[in-house]
C-alpha cells in the first residue's frame, strides 16, 4: 500500500488546493482566501472576484 503524499508528484502542487473558477486562482485552504463568517459557517472567498469557493461548518 502506498502512503499518501502532501504533494501531487505530477504537478508539484499540494493536493489540498482550492480553485476559483472565475479567475483560475489556486491556493491551499490556509492560503490567500478571505474567510467570512456566515451564520454558523465559514466561507472561503476569492479575494479578487468575491466568489465563494467553499463553505464549511
- Look up the pTM and report it: 0.70
Q: What is the pLDDT of residue 10?
A: 62
Model confidence pLDDT, tens digit, residues 20-41: 999 989 999 999 999 999 999 9
The x, y and z cell numbers of residue 30, run together, are: 490556509
Of 19, 37, 39, the C-alpha closest to 28 is: 19
Task: Over range 2-8, report the average pLDDT.
Answer: 49
Amino acid at each position: 500500500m502506498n502512503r499518501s503524499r502532501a504533494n501531487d508528484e505530477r504537478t508539484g502542487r499540494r493536493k489540498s488546493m482550492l480553485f476559483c473558477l472565475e479567475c483560475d486562482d489556486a491556493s491551499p485552504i490556509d492560503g490567500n482566501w478571505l474567510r467570512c463568517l456566515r451564520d454558523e459557517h465559514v466561507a472561503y472567498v476569492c479575494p479578487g472576484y468575491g466568489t465563494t469557493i467553499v463553505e464549511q461548518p
